[in-house]
Amino acid sequence: MNEAYELKRYIREYDGNRTTPFKKFINTGTIDPYTSFWGVTSTQYIKDSYQSPIVRETDLKRMSPRRYGQACAKKIIIGGMTKRLECFYDSGEYLAGKSTTIILEGNMQDLAYTTGILNSSLISFWYTAFFKSLSLAGGYLRINHNQISKIPIPAIDKSSQGKLSTVVHKIVQAKKKDPYADTATLERQIDQMVYKLYGLTPAEIAVVEGSVKG
């Protein structure tokens, strides 16, 4: 059986029972930059809608040990079919749906640092320009692992990564309390740090920001 349809058999609404271990199920429609709208807005999955979808860990282990391992891992979950990159850092609470792309923790770069880079105005601008030929109707972007793997992420030392990661964690904490929290000031800080990382000139920054405002 196709894994997506097999998974659907195990998705259920969260009933408030915390004694049975589970993973929150997340799909493209409930991902925004730095946050999840799980339990806030409905999740669409194979013709059905869920308010707070979960998959019990015992069911997930039985269905796919690989998917269970991914769900437990620290990772970045990236929405698909969106107008800009929407990347959410997960410490191991979520099972990502079929329409998403995930980046697992590696040896080189801190996941929070990478989340900040991917959510920046510059990378969304670059992604839209670089993959323009793959764009879909309505300005939507085709987002999958093949495209994500081509994004040039600066390899810098852990100390330098930590400065950007600290700002990302502030945003994540604010969004955990309220997914609608206004973190625009912190996100602008990240944009400025990213411009510096990539060595943009003031004129180039003006082009990027003009595109974002447009």
pLDDT tens, position by position, 69-126:
999 999 999 998 888 899 999 999 999 988 899 999 875 578 999 999 999 999 999 9
Of all residues in the chain, the percent with pLDDT exceeding 90 is 67
56-60, 81-85, 112-116, 147-151, range with the lowest pLDDT: 81-85
| 198 has pLDDT over 90 | yes
| 167 has pLDDT over 80 | yes
Query: With respect to CATH, is domain 3-213 assigned 3.90.220.10?
Result: yes
Taking the CB of residue 211, how many other CB atoms lie within 10 A of it?
13
pLDDT at residue number 213: 62
What is the distance between the alpha carbons of residues 97 and 213, in angstroms, rounded to a whole number?
31
| 170 has pLDDT over 70 | yes
pLDDT at residue number 165: 94
Alpha-carbon distance values, 56 to 18, 24, 67 (Å):
11, 9, 12
Mean pLDDT of the residues in the chain: 90
pLDDT at residue number 2: 83
Long-range contacts of 181-185 (CB under 8 A, 24+ apart): 183/34
What is the distance between the alpha carbons of residues 38 and 121, in angstroms, rounded to a whole number?
24
Q: In this predicted model, which residue has the larger pLDDT, 134 or 167?
A: 167
pLDDT at residue number 160: 82
Tokens of 119: 């959510």
Mean pLDDT of 36-53: 92
pLDDT at residue number 77: 96
Q: Which of 5, 10, 4 is nearest to 23 (CA)?
A: 10
Mean pLDDT of 46-66: 94
Residues 6+ apart with CB under 8 A from 89: 34, 74, 75, 76, 111, 112, 115, 168, 172
| 214 has pLDDT over 80 | no
pLDDT at residue number 18: 83
